[in-house]
């Protein structure tokens, strides 16, 4: 089942991924996708579960683990990064923003200028996240993420596998159908290290100045860019799977 170059599986991979466990999903993805396979972690609890599964099964031989170091992460996130490397005795490669672009951005809009408008915020996310992601995925045939459908209405249609038109690769979301409870159980059962901010009301953790704790009953991503409207709360890394591109993708997967 080689789907790495756009393939002709006719729904094979997406169907094969359902009904099996996380390590099996990752192993199947690594066998099925010919070419470079990249997992991007931001050290959230979803990503920590995937990191554990990859390292514990020795799948890092096939799957590169990288993180986008925006330079604005919480101290707790940097501590977790170090703790994770120590636990698994592996390095997690950093991709940093272009220094000149960050300097120009900060000189133009100020150190926290992303709070001034949606456009200013997107400009910051573009420089600190989207452009580095493009470099991280350059030449890759597959991209593994920790997206879950339950995280927000925006992500409700996230599939287990989809052909990502934007990056021209197969995007695997091995936790797409997991609930928060499924995730918590996996993390506890496997003693996976996780960010202590999760226990302090932060279900979703991004850059420090753009993330706050959520209140009881709020959606998981309500604490991200809380000053913006719900529909806009994405940093531009993930395209929304519309019905149209889902149908198109199902033809290819
Ligand atoms: Fe900039 Fe905030 Fe986006 Fe981080 S989340 S890249 S600090 S706008």
Q: So where are the chain's domains?
A: 12-198
pLDDT tier at 239, thresholds 50, 70, 90: low
d(CA 111, CA 103) in angstroms, rounded, equals 10
Q: Which residues, judged by CB distance below 6 Å to any ligand atom, belong to the binding site of ligand 1? A: 70, 72, 114, 121, 124-125, 128-129, 206-207, 209-210, 235
Which superfamily does CATH assign the domain made up of 12-198 to? HUPs (3.40.50.620)
For the question of residue 235 being annotated catalytic, the response is yes
Stated pTM of the model: 0.89
ipTM of the complex: 0.99
Residues contacting 175, CB < 8 A, separation 6+: 22, 46, 49, 50, 146, 147, 148, 183
Q: How remote is the CA of residue 210 from the centroid of ligand 1, in Å?
A: 6
For ligand 1, atom 1, which residue shows the shortest CA distance? 124
**Residues in contact with 193: Cβ distance below 8 Å, sequence separation at least 6, in sequence order:** 48, 80, 83, 84, 87
pLDDT digits (tens, 9 = 90+) for 161-213: 999 999 999 999 999 999 999 999 999 999 999 999 999 999 999 999 999 99
């Amino acid at each position: 089942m080689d789907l790495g170059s756009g393939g002709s599986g006719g729904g094979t991979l997406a169907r094969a991924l359902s009904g099996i466990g996380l390590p099996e999903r990752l192993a199947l993805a690594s066998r099925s996708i010919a070419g470079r396979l990249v997992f991007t972690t931001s050290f959230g609890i979803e990503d920590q579960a995937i990191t554990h599964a990859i390292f514990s099964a020795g799948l890092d031989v096939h799957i590169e683990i990288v993180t986008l170091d925006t330079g604005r992460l919480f101290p707790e996130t940097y501590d977790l990064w170090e703790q994770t490397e120590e636990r698994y005795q592996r390095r997690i490669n950093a991709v940093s923003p272009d220094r000149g672009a960050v300097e120009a951005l900060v000189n133009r809009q100020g150190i926290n200028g992303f709070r001034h408008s949606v456009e200013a915020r997107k400009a910051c996310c573009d420089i600190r996240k989207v452009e580095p992601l493009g470099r991280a995925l350059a030449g890759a045939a597959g991209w593994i993420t920790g997206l879950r459908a339950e995280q927000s209405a925006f992500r409700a249609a996230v599939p287990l596998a989809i052909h990502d038109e934007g990056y021209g690769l197969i995007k695997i979301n091995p936790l797409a159908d997991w609930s928060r409870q499924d995730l918590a159980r996996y993390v506890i059962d496997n003693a996976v290290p996780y960010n202590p901010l999760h226990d302090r009301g932060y279900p979703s953790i991004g850059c420090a100045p753009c993330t706050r704790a959520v209140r009881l009953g709020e959606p998981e991503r309500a604490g991200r860019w809380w000053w913006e409207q719900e529909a806009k709360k994405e940093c531009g890394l993930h395209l929304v799977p519309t019905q149209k591109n889902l149908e198109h993708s199902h033809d290819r997967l």
